[in-house]
Amino acid sequence: MRVLALIESAGHVCYRYRLNALAWDLAQEGLFLEARPFGKGLARIADLLAARRAEIVILQRKLLPAWQLALLRRMAKCLVYDVDDALFRRDSFSSKPQHSTDRLGRFRSTVRAADAVLAGNDYLAQFASVFTHPNRVHLVPTSLDPGWYPTAIHERIGSQVRLAWIGQSAMLPSLAASRERLTAISRRLPDVTLWVICDALPNIAGLRCELRPWTTDTETGELAAADIGISWLCNDLWSLGKCGLKVLQYMAAGLPVVANPVGIHRKLVVPGETGFLAETPDEWADAVSRLAEDPVLRSRMGTAARRRVEAEFNVCRLGPQLAGLLRNLVGRHEATHPKVSASDTCHFEPTSGKWAR
């Protein structure tokens, strides 16, 4: 059974973790994933027409113009929409207001056109359910394979610990926005270093930052060589759509996490068990200092964090679930759109002047 994914690019983080990571498990169930990056201009028409050759089409993240969505809906036997961000709003650092009538309208139309919606978190699932029957919306959290991640060995103490932040350069503003908290940490631990696993560095005065160039081959090892993972989200509606990939990566690498209590952080970070939720600069400094001075605590929390990923956010568990969902979707389509065999076709009988089977 062919599954066509219309995506931003093969290297896009959302495709790598939400679809490609599940490709093996889908294949074991007879569902073969093919990714097709969206072209620009007239080339996109060919991408939309390609949908007719697949049993299932997964549209990932895109908010298409009305005519393109209509063409895709006409071509696709079963259309699935995968969403892992609050795409119906502008992001936290946009110079324009977060509310966008155009984005919201396209999102509403896409959700209504889809046979199923795969939502990356509870907030996105609830929002999508406003525009379609709730039975069509399925919670499919971002997942990863813990086997890809070596685990941290917690030995460093005090200012020698390494903080880690991983993400795309587009997300660096969120790291820079947490500068007051990071500066408070550096005052408490003067020699602490922040490893930025990315392709650029933020400008944070008073904090020693070290760029660790991101690659698919080295990202997991870089995380395992750190001691504490950090994540910060703006307290706004856009952030409620974030699905916490970086936090899951920290946890898979056996790192305790320090994050602010916003959105997905509240679900992923269990205070006192897998890390700490901190709001003010002093709270951040307290949380990091406590972990820095106690490698045994870091090890215990890191172990609990990894176990949680293995149990709840593991591709080995979510892959078969998604395969079952997609198979059921195709089954419902075939039940309502039965194939017409040659024996079932009607023909015209000239002698009687009537149509007959």
In tens, the pLDDT along 313-334 reads: 999 989 999 999 999 998 887 7
206, 186 Cβ separation under 8 angstroms: yes
C-alpha to C-alpha distance for 320 and 318, rounded to whole angstroms: 6
Higher pLDDT, 342 or 27: 27
The pLDDT, as a whole number, for residue 305 is: 98
pLDDT band at 206 (very low <50, low <70, confident <90, very high): confident
The structural domains of the chain, ordered by start, are 2-143+314-336 (3.40.50.2000), 146-312 (3.40.50.2000)
pLDDT tens digit string along 160-193? 999 999 998 888 888 888 999 999 999 999 999 9
For tokens 């959105």, what's the residue? Answer: 263
Half-sphere exposure of 168 (CA within 13 A, CB side): 7
DSSP H helical ranges for the chain: 13-18, 23-28, 43-49, 66-75, 101-113, 122-128, 172-176, 179-188, 219-224, 245-252, 265-268, 281-292, 295-312, 315-336
Q: What is the pLDDT of residue 171?
A: 86
- Mean predicted lDDT score pLDDT of the chain: 91
pTM: 0.90
b/e code 147-184 from CB counts within 10 Å (16+ = b): eebebbebeeeebebbbbbbbeeebbebbeebbebbbb
The answer to whether residues 259 and 231 touch, using CB atoms and an 8 Å cutoff, is yes
Work out whether the CA dihedral 172, 175, 179, 183 comes out positive or negative: negative
Confidence of residue 202 (pLDDT cuts 50, 70, 90): confident
Cα distance between residue 20 and residue 33, in whole Å: 8
Check residue 277 and give its pLDDT.
98
Over residues 50-88, the pLDDT tens digits come to: 999 999 999 999 999 999 999 999 999 999 999 999 999
Q: Is the pLDDT of residue 42 over 90?
A: no
